[in-house]
Amino acid sequence: MSISRRGFLGWMGAAGMTALSARAGATTRHFEGYPQSLCVLHDITRCIGCRSCEAGCNKVNELPAPAAPFTDLTVLDKKRRTNPKAYTVVNKFTPSQGGKPLFVKNQCNHCLEPACASACFVRAFSKNRDGSVTYDSSVCVGCRYCMIACPFEIPTYEYDEPLTPRIMKCTLCHPRIAKGLLPGCVEACPTEALSFGKREDMLKLARERINKYPGRYIDHIYGEHEMGGTNWLYLSGVPFKTLGMREDLGITPAPDLTSGALATVPMVAALWPALLTGIYAISKRREKMLSGDKQEAIAKAVAEANAKSQAAMTAALDKARKEKEEAVKKAAKTALEPSAQKPQEQ
Amino acid sequence: MFKLKEVLNRSLLTPFNIIAGIIIIIGLIITALRFTGGLGAVTNLSDYNPWGLWIGFDLLCGVALAAGGYVTSAAVYIFGMKKYHSAVRPAILTGFLGYALVVLALGYDVGRPWRLPYPFVVQAGTTSVLFEVGACVLLYLMVLFVEFTPAASEWLGFRRARNVVVRLTMVLTILGVILSTLHQSSLGSLFLIAPSKLHPLWSSQYIPVFFFISSIVAGLSMVIFEGTLTHRYFTDKMDETHLREKEEVVFGFGKAASFVLAAYFAVKVFGIAMDDNWHYLSTGYGAWFLVELLGFVALPCLLYSIGVRDRSIKVIKWAAVWTVLGIMVNRFNVCLVAFNWHLPSSERYFPSWMEIGLSLFVVTVGVVAFKFIVTYMPILYEHPEYKTQHS
Amino acid sequence: MDFFTLQDFYTHTKFIAYILMVVTLIGMAVFWLYLTDHENDDGEFHF
């Protein structure tokens, strides 16, 4: 296939324009998230484990009724996680040194840089301006990579749906907060264990509480930096890991976990063709040289053999000629001898 | 071509056909259950374990073990090692069938398989490693299919189509190596998104390197292993060139596998060193890691080297079997054993009988297809009409 | 060993890594010579 110079320049021009319009990735860039995004602050010291938030969530999201009613507090005796019918659960933790049991509400933390959104190969998750992370079931293929990715083990899957299974998770009541309403759980909470407002304000509120009641709270706002920060913050009176909340997740945002590996993809695409073609060219040249060397060696051997046989033939011819000369001389001598003798006898 | 009447007259009830038939029938039943009852009716997958045997075996092992295609064609066409030429078509066939089966298995595993094209035609999640895996696997499957067509074309008499594709060999081979480098490594990179869920000894920034290098080892070993099987059961289909070259292939690939396994061993040790994870070696999971590293990387490396030194074809063949097993151990370790290591045993996963049955079904479909193609198409022999024209 | 800074951690891990690199390079070279040594074989394949 041959391309004219003009054709080639045309291709290059088009490629160049595309490259210029794409923004170059810069590793010193710093992103702070959407300004004024909304956030929930969960004060664990105020939670009484009444499960009103679970009931509120179930109602506003029109989720199916659970097996046991929300007033049944015996379900708290077992550790629960989110499931296809529950975007949120409250869990009970009994401190090892005794005292009142503690209750923690668990749901999607609406990360600033969600792992689910980073992992989804069909962009089914969006981090919205209002801070919520929402899921679009109309494009979801059901690969469940988001479930692998979420460090908080939140997305749950409708494994019992044969043809239309969905991921289910808390939406931060995205449609409600757009109308200025409170999320269902926040509205239902009777003890203000849940507060709602801008993330900056919730962080300020949390710090104020820690400063005002230092004996009551651990000096740490969970969600401020974990996984790069979340739009759901927590305050606690006991170490978070005793409440089933992982403290070893680090502060690296999820997209940065795979950006290094993904960055090598264009390098391979760009360099491998040159590298492999180069190896091919070298091995082809080597082969040619080897077969060239071989041919040279054969030619040399043939020439040598020729020369040898040539020389042998010349030598043989010389010898034959000499012998012939000798024979002629001898014959002449023999012929002349008797005639030389005869005249002497007379 | 073949005569249909002839085929039907021969008895179809061979032991192979009976066993394969049973497995396929079971597979079809599981298929019905999967699409009427959902994944929950057929698998032991859970919210904590969204990926199970079908991802661990059919996808991860399947792709690694189909790597012989790019490795062999690179050796012959890019590195110019013509003495392995007879191994190219069987390797490409194994690769093509392997990747086709991966797509088949994914059709069962994902929630809505008809939406598999969505990332490419509806919305592209370009931040996702899975997007890159999907794109490269899709493209590579197409490359493998094209690379396979000359054999089919020769069988069907499509001379012109065959010649066009043969002229494209270099381009296809280079493209195949690029795509394979990308997706073999990226299958490992999938787990970079969840470092908090993977045991430190397997969770390394070098996972992409581990997966890529071990895919080369897997490819070399599968060519040897699968060559052993075809030479035994399809000797009558092999022409003189194949019969003559087969030991050289085993020997040469065994030597390469030994050296690459040594490199893989070094790479794995570096993985521990760079994260200062030495102390994990003295734990329970550490012991299992050492079993994988010493028993399934160092040992086959050594076995291969002994086979090479003694020029023993038998030892190399056994080393290949052991290596293939080792690749599977590694993929299972990353995806099922080391993943979720921190969860209580009540939340750990083990495949259901139906998951195992379906994986067996997928492999059986592949073996049946392989058998058919090798019997009727010029894979193990050169078609007499194309003997002097290479590929 | 407890590390308090990234710098200390990297200093330690990369020190070990450099040593391993030298070991690896020498080891691979020796291994290659071992694999390609034809001194004691008869050139035939055995089964």
Q: How would you class A168 by CB atoms within 10 Å of its CB: exposed for 0-12, middle for 13-18, buried for 19 or more? A: buried
Q: What is the distance in angstroms between the Cα of A81 and the nearest Cα belonging to chain B?
A: 9
Closest Cβ opposite residue C20 in set B255, B273, B313: B273
B270 contacts in chain C (CB < 8 Å): 17, 20, 24
Q: How would you class B368 by CB atoms within 10 Å of its CB: exposed for 0-12, middle for 13-18, buried for 19 or more? A: middle
Average pLDDT rounded to a whole number, residues B229-238: 93
pLDDT of residue A307: 92
Are B38 and A162 within 8 A, CB to CB? yes
Q: What is the distance in angstroms between the Cα of C24 and the nearest Cα belonging to chain B?
A: 7
Digit-coded pLDDT (tens) for B6-28: 666 567 889 999 999 999 999 99
The residue of chain A with its CA nearest to that of B44 is A159
Q: How would you class B181 by CB atoms within 10 Å of its CB: exposed for 0-12, middle for 13-18, buried for 19 or more? A: buried
| Residue environment code for B155-180, b if the CB has 16+ CB neighbours within 10 A, otherwise e | beeeeeebeebbeebeebbbbbbbbb
DSSP string, A117-137: HHH-TT--EEE-TTS-EEE-T
Q: How far is CA B245 from CA A49, B108, B344, in A?
A: 74, 40, 53
B80 contacts in chain A (CB < 8 Å): 280, 283-284, 286-287
Check residue B58 and report its DSSP letter.
Answer: I
Q: What is the distance in angstroms between the Cα of A10 and the nearest Cα belonging to chain B?
A: 22
From CA B272, how far away is CA B270, in angstroms rounded?
5
pLDDT of residue A315: 93
Decide if C31 and B305 are in contact by the 8 Å CB cutoff: yes
Decide if B310 and C46 are in contact by the 8 Å CB cutoff: yes
From first to last of its 346 residues, chain A has per-residue pLDDT tens of 566 676 666 566 555 554 444 444 446 788 999 999 999 999 999 999 999 999 999 999 999 999 999 999 999 999 999 999 999 999 999 988 888 999 999 999 999 999 999 999 999 999 999 999 999 999 999 999 999 999 999 999 999 999 999 999 999 999 999 999 999 999 999 999 999 999 999 999 999 999 999 999 999 999 999 999 999 999 999 999 999 999 999 999 999 999 999 999 999 999 999 999 999 999 999 988 888 888 888 999 999 999 999 999 999 999 999 999 999 999 998 888 776 655 555 4
From CA A201, how far away is CA B18, in angstroms rounded?
71
Q: What is the distance in angstroms between the Cα of C44 and the nearest Cα belonging to chain B?
A: 7
Sign of the C-alpha dihedral computed for residues B357, B362, B365 and B366 taken in this order = negative
DSSP string, C12-27: HHHHHHHHHHHHHHHH
Structure tokens at A149: 């990715």
- Pairing state of beta strands A38-43 and A232-235? parallel
B220 contacts in chain C (CB < 8 Å): none
- Pairing state of beta strands A156-157 and A167-168? antiparallel
pLDDT of residue A99: 86
Decide if A159 and B40 are in contact by the 8 Å CB cutoff: yes
Do chain C and A touch: 3 or more Cβ pairs under 8 angstroms?
Answer: no
C28 contacts in chain B (CB < 8 Å): 259, 262-263, 266
Decide if B310 and C20 are in contact by the 8 Å CB cutoff: no
pLDDT of residue B6: 63
Digit-coded pLDDT (tens) for B276-293: 999 999 999 999 999 999
Asked if C6 has any chain B CB less than 8 Å from its own CB, the reply is no
| Residue environment code for B200-212, b if the CB has 16+ CB neighbours within 10 A, otherwise e | bbbbbebbbbbbb
CA angle A46, A50, A54 (to 5 degrees): 105
Are A76 and A91 within 8 A, CB to CB? yes
Contacts 24+ apart (CB under 8 A), B230-234: B230/B90, B230/B374, B230/B380, B234/B374, B234/B375, B234/B380
Residues paired with A167 in a beta bridge: A157
Average pLDDT rounded to a whole number, residues B145-166: 95
Digit-coded pLDDT (tens) for C1-47: 788 888 989 999 999 999 999 999 999 999 999 999 888 778 888 88
pLDDT of residue B152: 96
B35 contacts in chain A (CB < 8 Å): 162-163
pLDDT of residue A27: 60
pLDDT of residue A20: 47
A140 contacts in chain B (CB < 8 Å): 111-112, 115
Q: Which residues contact B326 (CB under 8 A, 6 or more apart)?
A: B292, B295, B296, B297, B300
From CA B48, how far away is CA B347, in angstroms rounded?
7
ipTM of the complex: 0.95
Average pLDDT rounded to a whole number, residues B290-308: 98
Average pLDDT rounded to a whole number, residues B235-256: 94
Percent of chain B residues past pLDDT 70, beyond the cut: 96
Average pLDDT rounded to a whole number, residues B65-73: 97
